Homo-oligomer: A and B are copies of this chain.
């Protein structure tokens, strides 16, 4: 596999919807996604069930997802209390959102930078002491700009990335939370990220809010990024950033990469089958994506799998 796609729909997508997907439907959808060849899925977040009732069944969803052979199960947590639940549930990867824009951090999870950094340190300490096999990632949100603050300085992003590495997280991901990124910026920032944190340099989480999602993927590939977040049907986005919906669409991303000769391990027909499961579970919900509408080109051949 040349590129790892980390499917975030069951977390990022479902927590943005008003309705709550029944647990059994989540199981079915996640199983269908895994069956398409997606090797990593962010299945939910451990958060207050009052704030996000869509995620109240996260422990059960993680437990079921752990039964799927070969799947790496990711869960998002906002703080130490919920990280404990995620560790206990057995998630393979725990990801912590850390906003580079402090006003966004305060508005989103009511934490200053000092507070969220202290949380990250405490979560890493807990992992080191009791769950050494679990990976801890930091996802730097608003890394490309913020609807509250506006421009986010690249030096601030790099400084926060260095702090996260110093805290002991395994991977630092960069997120275009509000769809502000452009390809020149994406290439520059991921290049600098690798210089700053080396092998801890992680995934690109890109949005399509301004139609630039896949253009930014091309730039990230140029900078050596090999992991991309996306959501089936493009569901989700950032519920706290007004108008900033729009994850890049897994179906279109897989087509992009496979047609470029980069293997994703994902079978497009099976991915469409998973889309049907999602569509059945969310009747009337808008699913995005061009490839599902237009179909594959005549004579299309996916990338050759590495032996």
Which A residues have a C-beta under 8 Å from some C-beta of B?
A: 145-151, 178-180, 182-185, 208-212, 214-215, 217-219, 222, 243-244, 249, 252, 255-256, 259-261, 289-291, 294-295, 297-299
Known interface pairs A256-B183, A298-B145; A290-B217 also in contact (CB < 8 Å): no
Of B178, B183, B212, B252, the residue contacting A252 (CB under 8 A) is B212
Most buried by B among A180, A218, A289: A218
Q: What's the minimum C-beta distance from A62 to chain B, rounded to whole angstroms?
A: 32
Please name 23 pairs of A and B residues whose Cβ atoms are closer than 8 Å in the assembled complex, sorted by A.
A145-B298, A145-B299, A148-B298, A151-B298, A151-B299, A182-B259, A184-B259, A185-B260, A208-B290, A210-B252, A210-B297, A211-B249, A211-B255, A211-B256, A211-B290, A212-B214, A212-B255, A212-B290, A214-B215, A218-B218, A218-B219, A222-B222, A243-B295
- Known contacts A260-B182, A260-B183: A150-B214 contact under CB 8 Å: no
Q: How far is the CB of A230 from chain B (nearest CB, A)?
A: 12
A254 to chain B, nearest CB (A): 11
Bound-state CA distance A117–B152 (Å) is 54
A210 touches B255 (CB 8 A): yes
Smallest CB gap from A262: residue in B: B184
Q: Which residues of B contact A215 (CB under 8 A)?
A: 214-215, 217-218, 256
A contact face: mostly helix, strand, loop, or mixed: loop
When all copies of this chain in the complex are counted, the total is 2
**Ranked 9 nearest A-B pairs via Cβ:** A150-B299, A211-B290, A182-B259, A214-B215, A150-B298, A184-B260, A151-B299, A211-B252, A180-B297
> Do B210 and A294 touch (CB < 8 A)?
yes
A211 and B291 form a contact (CB under 8 A): yes
- Using A151-B299, A185-B259, A211-B291 as known contacts, list a sample of 12 further A-B pairs with CB atoms less than 8 Å apart, ordered by residue number in A: A148-B298, A180-B297, A182-B259, A183-B218, A183-B260, A184-B259, A184-B260, A210-B255, A211-B214, A211-B255, A215-B256, A243-B295
The CA-CA distance from A241 to B236 in the complex, in Å, is 33
Nearest B residue (CB) for A296: B210
Smallest Cβ distance from A226 to chain B, in angstroms? 16
Chain B residues near A219: list those with CB within 8 A: 218
In the bound complex, how far is the Cα of B146 from the Cα of A147, in angstroms? 42
Q: Which residues of chain B come closer than 8 Å to A209, judged between CB atoms? A: 290, 294
For the complex, give the distance between the alpha carbons of A78 and B299 in Å. Answer: 28
Q: Which residues of B contact A218 (CB under 8 A)?
A: 183, 215, 218-219
> CB distance A184 to B261 under 8 Å?
yes
With A218-B219, A261-B184, A295-B243 as known contacts, state yes or no: A256 contacts B212, CB within 8 Å: yes
CA separation between A215 and B289, bound complex, in Å? 15
Q: How far is the CB of A258 from chain B (nearest CB, A)?
A: 9
The CA-CA distance from A307 to B236 in the complex, in Å, is 43
CB distance from A145 to the nearest CB of B (A): 5
